Protein backbone atom coordinates (compact mmCIF):
# COMPACT_ATOMS: atom_id res chain seq x y z
CA UNK A 1 0.00 0.00 0.00
CA UNK A 2 1.38 3.35 -1.02
CA UNK A 3 0.23 6.83 0.17
CA UNK A 4 -0.26 9.61 -2.34
CA UNK A 5 -1.86 13.01 -1.95
CA UNK A 6 -4.84 13.81 -4.15
CA UNK A 7 -5.19 17.54 -4.67
CA UNK A 8 -8.78 18.77 -5.13
CA UNK A 9 -9.59 22.39 -5.88
CA UNK A 10 -12.95 22.72 -4.10
CA UNK A 11 -11.72 21.38 -0.72
CA UNK A 12 -8.55 23.46 -1.15
CA UNK A 13 -10.49 26.71 -1.71
CA UNK A 14 -12.84 25.91 1.19
CA UNK A 15 -9.86 25.22 3.45
CA UNK A 16 -8.16 28.49 2.49
CA UNK A 17 -11.36 30.43 3.19
CA UNK A 18 -11.84 28.80 6.60
CA UNK A 19 -8.20 29.39 7.48
CA UNK A 20 -8.37 33.05 6.43
CA UNK A 21 -11.50 33.60 8.51
CA UNK A 22 -10.03 31.78 11.53
CA UNK A 23 -6.72 33.64 11.41
CA UNK A 24 -8.40 37.03 10.84
CA UNK A 25 -10.81 36.56 13.74
CA UNK A 26 -8.03 35.19 15.92
CA UNK A 27 -5.93 38.27 15.22
CA UNK A 28 -8.91 40.51 15.96
CA UNK A 29 -9.48 38.81 19.32
CA UNK A 30 -5.76 38.99 20.11
CA UNK A 31 -5.83 42.70 19.30
CA UNK A 32 -8.80 43.18 21.66
CA UNK A 33 -6.84 41.42 24.40
CA UNK A 34 -3.82 43.67 23.84
CA UNK A 35 -6.09 46.73 23.81
CA UNK A 36 -7.62 45.78 27.17
CA UNK A 37 -4.21 45.03 28.64
CA UNK A 38 -3.09 48.47 27.50
CA UNK A 39 -6.13 50.02 29.19
CA UNK A 40 -5.33 48.09 32.37
CA UNK A 41 -1.77 49.45 32.33
CA UNK A 42 -3.06 52.97 31.71
CA UNK A 43 -5.56 52.65 34.56
CA UNK A 44 -2.84 51.51 36.93
CA UNK A 45 -0.56 54.34 35.85
CA UNK A 46 -3.16 57.10 36.02
CA UNK A 47 -4.94 55.93 39.17
CA UNK A 48 -2.00 57.11 41.30
CA UNK A 49 -1.97 60.61 39.78
CA UNK A 50 -3.54 63.53 41.59
CA UNK A 51 -7.15 64.17 40.52
CA UNK A 52 -7.79 66.66 37.75
CA UNK A 53 -9.66 69.66 39.19
CA UNK A 54 -12.04 71.21 36.67
CA UNK A 55 -12.38 74.97 37.07
CA UNK A 56 -14.00 77.66 34.98
CA UNK A 57 -11.64 79.39 32.58
CA UNK A 58 -8.84 76.81 32.73
CA UNK A 59 -7.55 75.09 29.59
CA UNK A 60 -7.33 71.32 29.57
CA UNK A 61 -4.97 68.80 27.92
CA UNK A 62 -6.26 66.56 25.11
CA UNK A 63 -8.73 63.84 26.06
CA UNK A 64 -6.09 61.19 25.30
CA UNK A 65 -4.08 62.54 28.25
CA UNK A 66 -7.10 62.83 30.54
CA UNK A 67 -8.94 59.55 29.98
CA UNK A 68 -9.11 57.36 33.12
CA UNK A 69 -7.77 60.18 35.31
CA UNK A 70 -9.65 60.88 38.52
CA UNK A 71 -11.49 64.20 38.44
CA UNK A 72 -13.16 66.62 40.85
CA UNK A 73 -15.54 69.41 39.89
CA UNK A 74 -17.76 71.84 41.80
CA UNK A 75 -20.92 72.99 40.09
CA UNK A 76 -24.58 72.38 39.51
CA UNK A 77 -26.56 69.82 37.52
CA UNK A 78 -28.73 71.11 34.68
CA UNK A 79 -31.72 69.09 35.85
CA UNK A 80 -33.93 69.84 32.84
CA UNK A 81 -31.74 67.78 30.44
CA UNK A 82 -31.52 64.19 31.73
CA UNK A 83 -31.11 61.36 29.22
CA UNK A 84 -31.22 57.62 29.87
CA UNK A 85 -28.98 55.03 28.25
CA UNK A 86 -30.81 51.73 27.77
CA UNK A 87 -29.52 48.13 27.76
CA UNK A 88 -27.27 48.67 30.79
CA UNK A 89 -27.96 45.72 33.11
CA UNK A 90 -26.54 45.54 36.60
CA UNK A 91 -26.44 42.27 38.50
CA UNK A 92 -28.71 40.72 35.88
CA UNK A 93 -31.36 43.45 36.34
CA UNK A 94 -32.29 45.59 33.29
CA UNK A 95 -31.71 49.27 33.77
CA UNK A 96 -30.46 52.64 32.59
CA UNK A 97 -27.42 54.84 32.97
CA UNK A 98 -28.52 58.35 33.82
CA UNK A 99 -26.53 61.04 31.99
CA UNK A 100 -26.96 64.72 32.79
CA UNK A 101 -25.10 67.95 31.97
CA UNK A 102 -23.21 69.59 34.80
CA UNK A 103 -22.09 73.23 34.80
CA UNK A 104 -18.70 73.78 36.38
CA UNK A 105 -18.83 76.71 38.80
CA UNK A 106 -21.51 79.29 38.17
CA UNK A 107 -20.42 80.38 34.68
CA UNK A 108 -17.97 77.67 33.61
CA UNK A 109 -18.15 75.06 30.88
CA UNK A 110 -20.60 72.16 30.90
CA UNK A 111 -19.57 68.52 31.09
CA UNK A 112 -21.74 65.42 30.77
CA UNK A 113 -21.86 63.31 33.92
CA UNK A 114 -22.83 59.65 33.85
CA UNK A 115 -24.45 59.82 37.26
CA UNK A 116 -25.15 56.14 37.87
CA UNK A 117 -27.41 53.17 37.28
CA UNK A 118 -31.09 52.79 38.11
CA UNK A 119 -33.50 49.91 37.33
CA UNK A 120 -35.99 49.81 34.49
CA UNK A 121 -39.70 49.22 35.08
CA UNK A 122 -40.21 45.47 34.32
CA UNK A 123 -43.82 46.04 33.19
CA UNK A 124 -43.42 49.16 31.06
CA UNK A 125 -40.06 49.59 29.40
CA UNK A 126 -40.48 53.29 28.57
CA UNK A 127 -41.63 54.34 32.04
CA UNK A 128 -38.85 56.41 33.54
CA UNK A 129 -37.78 55.86 37.14
CA UNK A 130 -38.17 58.49 39.81
CA UNK A 131 -35.25 60.88 39.60
CA UNK A 132 -33.63 62.74 42.44
CA UNK A 133 -31.20 65.48 41.48
CA UNK A 134 -29.21 67.30 44.19
CA UNK A 135 -30.04 70.98 44.32
CA UNK A 136 -27.52 73.81 44.28
CA UNK A 137 -23.75 73.50 44.23
CA UNK A 138 -22.34 70.01 44.69
CA UNK A 139 -18.93 68.39 44.33
CA UNK A 140 -18.76 65.60 41.78
CA UNK A 141 -15.94 63.08 41.87
CA UNK A 142 -15.32 60.44 39.28
CA UNK A 143 -13.28 59.23 36.30
CA UNK A 144 -12.83 60.87 32.93
CA UNK A 145 -14.04 58.75 30.00
CA UNK A 146 -14.43 59.49 26.29
CA UNK A 147 -18.03 58.25 26.32
CA UNK A 148 -20.38 56.35 28.66
CA UNK A 149 -19.80 53.00 26.93
CA UNK A 150 -21.17 51.74 23.62
CA UNK A 151 -23.75 49.01 23.04
CA UNK A 152 -25.23 47.51 19.88
CA UNK A 153 -27.58 50.02 18.29
CA UNK A 154 -30.99 48.42 17.84
CA UNK A 155 -33.02 50.09 15.09
CA UNK A 156 -32.97 53.80 14.35
CA UNK A 157 -31.39 55.98 17.04
CA UNK A 158 -33.93 57.91 19.08
CA UNK A 159 -33.87 61.70 18.97
CA UNK A 160 -31.76 63.27 21.70
CA UNK A 161 -34.05 65.37 23.89
CA UNK A 162 -34.78 65.74 27.62
CA UNK A 163 -35.78 62.38 29.17
CA UNK A 164 -34.94 60.49 25.96
CA UNK A 165 -34.15 56.78 26.17
CA UNK A 166 -31.09 56.16 23.99
CA UNK A 167 -28.78 53.29 23.12
CA UNK A 168 -25.60 55.38 22.87
CA UNK A 169 -24.53 58.96 23.38
CA UNK A 170 -21.45 61.05 22.67
CA UNK A 171 -20.67 64.58 23.87
CA UNK A 172 -20.67 65.83 20.26
CA UNK A 173 -24.11 64.37 19.54
CA UNK A 174 -25.52 65.79 22.77
CA UNK A 175 -24.15 69.26 21.98
CA UNK A 176 -25.59 69.19 18.46
CA UNK A 177 -29.06 68.18 19.67
CA UNK A 178 -29.31 70.31 22.80
CA UNK A 179 -27.46 73.46 21.78
CA UNK A 180 -25.44 73.15 25.00
CA UNK A 181 -21.71 73.22 24.37
CA UNK A 182 -20.10 70.48 26.42
CA UNK A 183 -16.54 69.31 26.99
CA UNK A 184 -15.34 66.47 24.76
CA UNK A 185 -15.42 63.86 27.52
CA UNK A 186 -17.75 62.65 30.24
CA UNK A 187 -17.34 62.10 33.97
CA UNK A 188 -18.21 58.62 35.20
CA UNK A 189 -19.39 59.64 38.65
CA UNK A 190 -17.98 57.88 41.69
CA UNK A 191 -19.31 60.07 44.46
CA UNK A 192 -21.00 63.30 45.32
CA UNK A 193 -20.47 65.70 48.16
CA UNK A 194 -24.00 65.60 49.50
CA UNK A 195 -25.98 63.28 51.80
CA UNK A 196 -29.37 63.13 53.48
CA UNK A 197 -32.59 63.95 51.63
CA UNK A 198 -30.71 65.37 48.63
CA UNK A 199 -28.69 62.18 48.01
CA UNK A 200 -29.59 60.63 44.65
CA UNK A 201 -29.62 56.91 45.52
CA UNK A 202 -27.99 55.81 42.24
CA UNK A 203 -25.80 52.71 41.89
CA UNK A 204 -22.23 53.46 40.80
CA UNK A 205 -20.71 50.02 40.36
CA UNK A 206 -19.14 50.72 36.98
CA UNK A 207 -17.79 47.88 34.79
CA UNK A 208 -14.04 48.07 34.34
CA UNK A 209 -13.07 48.65 30.69
CA UNK A 210 -9.86 46.62 31.12
CA UNK A 211 -11.55 43.36 32.20
CA UNK A 212 -11.78 40.35 29.90
CA UNK A 213 -8.37 40.12 28.19
CA UNK A 214 -8.10 36.43 29.11
CA UNK A 215 -11.50 35.81 27.51
CA UNK A 216 -10.34 37.41 24.26
CA UNK A 217 -7.16 35.31 24.28
CA UNK A 218 -9.29 32.20 24.74
CA UNK A 219 -11.44 33.19 21.77
CA UNK A 220 -8.30 33.86 19.71
CA UNK A 221 -6.99 30.37 20.49
CA UNK A 222 -10.29 28.85 19.36
CA UNK A 223 -10.17 30.69 16.02
CA UNK A 224 -6.53 29.74 15.45
CA UNK A 225 -7.43 26.14 16.31
CA UNK A 226 -10.24 26.22 13.74
CA UNK A 227 -7.77 27.34 11.05
CA UNK A 228 -5.30 24.60 12.03
CA UNK A 229 -8.06 21.98 12.09
CA UNK A 230 -9.21 22.97 8.60
CA UNK A 231 -5.68 22.55 7.25
CA UNK A 232 -5.22 19.22 9.02
CA UNK A 233 -8.56 17.95 7.71
CA UNK A 234 -7.62 18.93 4.16
CA UNK A 235 -4.30 17.10 4.38
CA UNK A 236 -5.70 13.96 6.03
CA UNK A 237 -8.59 13.59 3.58
CA UNK A 238 -6.27 14.29 0.67
CA UNK A 239 -3.94 11.46 1.65
CA UNK A 240 -6.89 9.10 2.20
CA UNK A 241 -8.31 9.96 -1.20
CA UNK A 242 -4.95 9.25 -2.75
CA UNK A 243 -4.39 5.90 -1.02
CA UNK A 244 -3.69 3.07 -3.42
Helix, strand counts (H, E) of the chain:
4, 8
pLDDT of 177 reads 94
- State pLDDT tens for residues 9-31: 888 899 999 999 999 999 999 99
Confidence band, pLDDT 50/70/90 cuts, at residue 84: very high
Residue 50 and residue 66 in contact, taking contact as beta carbons nearer than 8 Å? no
pLDDT score recorded for residue 175 = 95
pLDDT of residue 27: 93
Angular region, 29: left φ>0, alpha ψ -120 to 50, beta rest: alpha
CA distance 230 to 5: 16
| Across 72-100, average pLDDT | 93
In this predicted structure, what is the pLDDT of residue 178? 94
pLDDT score recorded for residue 241: 60
Domain residue ranges of the chain, discontinuous segments joined by +: 9-37+215-241, 52-198
Q: Is 205:117 a contact under the CB 8 Å cutoff?
A: yes
Q: What is the pLDDT of residue 193?
A: 57
d(CA 206, CA 210): 12
pLDDT at 212 over 50: yes
What single DSSP character describes residue 198? G
| pLDDT reported for residue 195 | 47
- For residue 32, give every residue at least 6 positions away whose Cβ sits within 8 Å of its Cβ, in sequence order, or none: 213, 216
Residue percentage of the chain with pLDDT more than 70? 93
Over 50: is that where the pLDDT of 197 sits? Answer: no
| Sequence-distant (≥ 6) Cβ neighbours of residue 240 within 8 angstroms | none
> In which band, very low, low, confident or very high, does the pLDDT at 75 lie, cut at 50, 70 and 90?
very high
Per-residue pLDDT for 221 more than 90? yes
Q: What is the tens place of the pLDDT at every residue in 145-179?
A: 988 888 877 777 889 999 999 999 999 999 999 99
Tens-digit pLDDT profile for residues 26-70: 999 999 888 888 888 888 888 888 999 998 878 888 888 898 999
Amino acid sequence: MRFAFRFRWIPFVATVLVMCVGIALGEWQRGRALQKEGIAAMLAERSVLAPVVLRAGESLPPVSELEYRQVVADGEFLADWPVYLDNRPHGGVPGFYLVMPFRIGSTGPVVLVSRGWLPRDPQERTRLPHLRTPRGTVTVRGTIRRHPGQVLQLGQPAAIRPNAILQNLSPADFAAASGIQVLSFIIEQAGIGVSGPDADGLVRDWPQPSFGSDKHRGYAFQWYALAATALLFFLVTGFRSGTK
